Amino acid sequence: MIRQKFNISIRNQYQTLQNISENNDNIGPDLNEHWNKVKTMFNDTAENVLGIRDSTRKRWISDTTWNVIEKRRSTKSKCNQARSERLKEKLQKEYSELNKEVKKKARKDKLQYIEGLANEAEEACKHGELSTVYKITKQLCGKSNNNDTPVLSKNGEVLTSESQKLERWAEHFREVLNREPPDKPAQFDNTEDKIGKIGKKDF
């Protein structure tokens, strides 16, 4: 269904572009100009039909910054389609200003995001939530881990809450470490005669 919608949209836009080319009214003879129009047509159609993947947006980018990014993208698209040199020059200048604004806002957003994570880690440490501190530390070090390893109960059910997971791990280690002593004590050779006594001179 999505593929069909995409193909129909592309076909309609390409037909319009072809008609413009045949009339030779709004398109120049420059091959690069024609290619930019075709490329923009595919990109715009893909965004309208398929949308933009959420993964392309970093978690620390605010809505305000994202709106400026969208405005910058739109300005670049208009600049590529502009036929007038004066209009293209104006749009290029506007794009340059928007690009500076995006970088400035993105730096501010990232700093606030890092400070927020640091405060969250500090609070988690006060409450003894070491697993949360560990995850935040990995994020701050650039090693984010979003896919939590599932912890199962003895019945094979997936545990979701942190308290359930910690209790299950505690139960596991109690069973592993608190075993009955062996029937026969371990036998050790009398190695003192072989290696001699260790005195102060050996340090």
Higher pLDDT, 137 or 25: 137
Lowest mean pLDDT among 87-91, 108-112, 159-163: 159-163
Q: Report the C-alpha gap between 102 and 59 in whole angstroms.
A: 15
Least confident of 51-55, 81-85, 111-115, 148-152: 51-55
Is the same domain home to 134 and 154? no
φ/ψ of residue 180, rounded to 5:
-70, 145
Q: What pLDDT, in 10s, does the model give residues 12-66? A: 766 655 555 555 554 455 667 766 777 777 777 776 666 555 545 677 889 999 9
Is 192 a member of any domain? no
Last residue of a domain, one of 146, 166, 188: 146
Q: State which amino acid sits at residue 190.
A: N
Domain that holds residue 18: 1-51
pLDDT at 111 over 70: yes
Please indicate, yes or no, whether residues 79 and 141 belong to a single structural domain of this protein.
yes
43 and 10 in one domain?
yes
Among the listed residues 10, 3, 112, 22, the one whose alpha carbon sits nearest the alpha carbon of residue 61:
112
Per-residue pLDDT of 153-170, as tens digits, reads: 888 787 777 778 778 777
Query: What is the count of structural domains for the chain?
Result: 3
- What per-residue confidence (pLDDT) applies to 189? 55
3-state secondary structure string across 176-197: HHCCCCCCCCCCCCCCHHHHCC
Residue 202 placed within a domain: no
My answer on whether 62 and 103 are in the same domain is yes
Mean per-residue pLDDT for 179-190? 62
Q: CB of 96 within 8 A of CB of 39?
A: no
Same domain, 64 and 142: yes
| 140 and 152 together in one domain | no
